[in-house]
Chain A
């Protein structure tokens, strides 16, 4: 178990690094929401270990590294992970496409929340590219899911839930 958790931690750290890695100017607006996606996977895999508390902490760390208001990413993260957490049994048996659709709407809500806060601060972006991360994340989800599942299976002796 601890080995799998370590793998989980490493993937989350990797997600963080991808989230702050410098990208060329044309690509920054397409950056997927790495941290949220990876967290969603690990919540689905180990719902009794990883929950909203972890998500909140990850959100705060994202806020600090992005220079946004403390809590701005955290609130969306908590809501997304909450829904995934209470519905994990449903989501696990869903097909990758169905999962992707659910995740699309969850991430859309998260992005709208962030937009709402930005709007209240008077610095709302003026183009539709703002919702690009939601789309790229959704497209990325099936691949990320398969990669993380392989990683998890490789490093865990005890098989987690079979699905």
Chain B
């Protein structure tokens, strides 16, 4: 039955309750970031819509593939083969270098380098808040995507996953105004933080003094500090360095190397955190000790052990690790 006059107070009370609920939700979401369950539940309602919106665009790509002629395909194939060969040749060299590096690291007793696992995800073409740099990916919790997972493309770091839903996930690009990424200048090793500016093609390096050794054209790579991004991935190239007298810090701008607004596919990265070094069977004792120090000691502790082994190395560089054990 339709009533002509709606009971006023009931509606008002409901409104007040809902406003309070909204404010509570916002506070909880912002302060404790603990509403991921709510978010992923609601997103399963939204996902079909996002999927539907994306369908025509996927259809376009599909049609483009299906309708391309044999000749273009052949041409493409030939081009890829050539590039593949080139890459293979370069990889051979890299392979040897990596093996050598591994061996050297083992000699030094340093932890092995982290290895990474990759998965290709496609960007779902939907718009999000126009004032933030977010993208929606078609891989989610069902594919082991986790919050804070780095995403990259063929050219460099793109960003990190901020919300994980069962079938999709939302990622923040490095240029988002609330994003910062620890970087390092690959020429000098100078460490800094690259902050997003909200513009898709611009990063900012804040709090670097005037005398910092940094030039236009320098490459920024991830430093691996902070534990979110894997080290040594390219991030950006410096485009502008301005040292205004009277300002406490230099103004430094950079352009991301990843194609943030053009990529269709991105790579999700899983880092395999290496186990403490396992050298040889004989030096179990040392292994236990070193893993203990790694687990408990502070930076200075680990630094001590490495310098120790460092000092010993030159004299007995060819001897196996058992010698090392004895000398300790």
On A, residues with C-beta under 8 Å from B are: 13, 16-17, 20-23, 28-29, 31, 47-48, 51-53, 56, 59-61, 64-72, 74-75, 78-79, 82, 85-86, 88, 117-118, 121-123, 125, 130
Closest to B41 in A: A64
The smallest C-beta distance from A86 to any residue of chain B, in angstroms, reads 6
CB distance A123 to B178 under 8 Å?
yes
Mark interface residues in B130-171 (1 if CB within 8 Å of A CB, else 0).
111010000000000000000000000000001100000010
> For B198, what are the chain A residues with a Cβ–Cβ distance below 8 Å?
123, 125
CB distance A118 to B131 under 8 Å?
yes
Decide yes or no whether B212 CB sits under 8 A from chain A.
Answer: no
A17 and B128 in contact, given A52-B15, A70-B29, A117-B26 (Cβ under 8 angstroms): no
- Determine the main DSSP class of A at the interface with B: helix
A64 and B46 in contact, given A22-B127, A52-B11, A123-B178 (Cβ under 8 angstroms): yes
A53 and B18 in contact, given A67-B134, A121-B178, A123-B132 (Cβ under 8 angstroms): yes
CB distance B170 to A67 under 8 Å?
yes
> For B131, what are the chain A residues with a Cβ–Cβ distance below 8 Å?
118, 123, 125, 130
The smallest C-beta distance from B222 to any residue of chain A, in angstroms, reads 23
Mark interface residues in B12-29 (1 if CB within 8 Å of A CB, else 0).
101100110111111001
Bound CA–CA A72/B131 (angstroms): 14
- Determine the main DSSP class of B at the interface with A: helix
**Stretch of B48-56, B83-91, B203-211, B249-257 with 4 or more beta carbons under 8 angstroms from chain A:** B48-56
> For A52, what are the chain B residues with a Cβ–Cβ distance below 8 Å?
11, 14-15, 18
CB distance B126 to A29 under 8 Å?
no
Bound CA–CA A117/B129 (angstroms): 14
Bound CA–CA A85/B7 (angstroms): 11
Residue among A21, A47, A66, A70 making CB contact with B25, cutoff 8 Å? A70
> For B8, what are the chain A residues with a Cβ–Cβ distance below 8 Å?
86
Residue among A20, A21, A75, A123 making CB contact with B22, cutoff 8 Å? A75
Decide yes or no whether B38 CB sits under 8 A from chain A.
Answer: yes
> For A85, what are the chain B residues with a Cβ–Cβ distance below 8 Å?
6, 11
Residue among B11, B14, B15, B46 making CB contact with A65, cutoff 8 Å? B46
CB distance A121 to B15 under 8 Å?
no
A20 and B50 in contact, given A48-B3, A52-B15 (Cβ under 8 angstroms): yes
> For B14, what are the chain A residues with a Cβ–Cβ distance below 8 Å?
51-53
CB distance A70 to B126 under 8 Å?
no
Residue among A23, A29, A61, A130 making CB contact with B42, cutoff 8 Å? A61
Residue from the set A17, A79, A123 with the largest chain B CB neighbour count within 10 Å: A123
Bound CA–CA A56/B15 (angstroms): 9
> For A13, what are the chain B residues with a Cβ–Cβ distance below 8 Å?
49
> For A65, what are the chain B residues with a Cβ–Cβ distance below 8 Å?
43, 46, 49-50, 126, 128
A21 and B53 in contact, given A48-B2, A67-B128 (Cβ under 8 angstroms): yes
The smallest C-beta distance from A87 to any residue of chain B, in angstroms, reads 11
Decide yes or no whether B39 CB sits under 8 A from chain A.
Answer: yes
CB distance A79 to B15 under 8 Å?
yes
CB distance A28 to B126 under 8 Å?
no
The smallest C-beta distance from B136 to any residue of chain A, in angstroms, reads 8
Decide yes or no whether B309 CB sits under 8 A from chain A.
Answer: no
The smallest C-beta distance from A163 to any residue of chain B, in angstroms, reads 13
CB distance A28 to B30 under 8 Å?
no
CB distance B126 to A22 under 8 Å?
yes
Bound CA–CA A104/B60 (angstroms): 38
Residue among A29, A53, A60, A123 making CB contact with B130, cutoff 8 Å? A29
> For B127, what are the chain A residues with a Cβ–Cβ distance below 8 Å?
20-23, 28, 31
Decide yes or no whether B193 CB sits under 8 A from chain A.
Answer: no
> For A123, what are the chain B residues with a Cβ–Cβ distance below 8 Å?
131-132, 177-178, 198
CB distance A56 to B22 under 8 Å?
yes
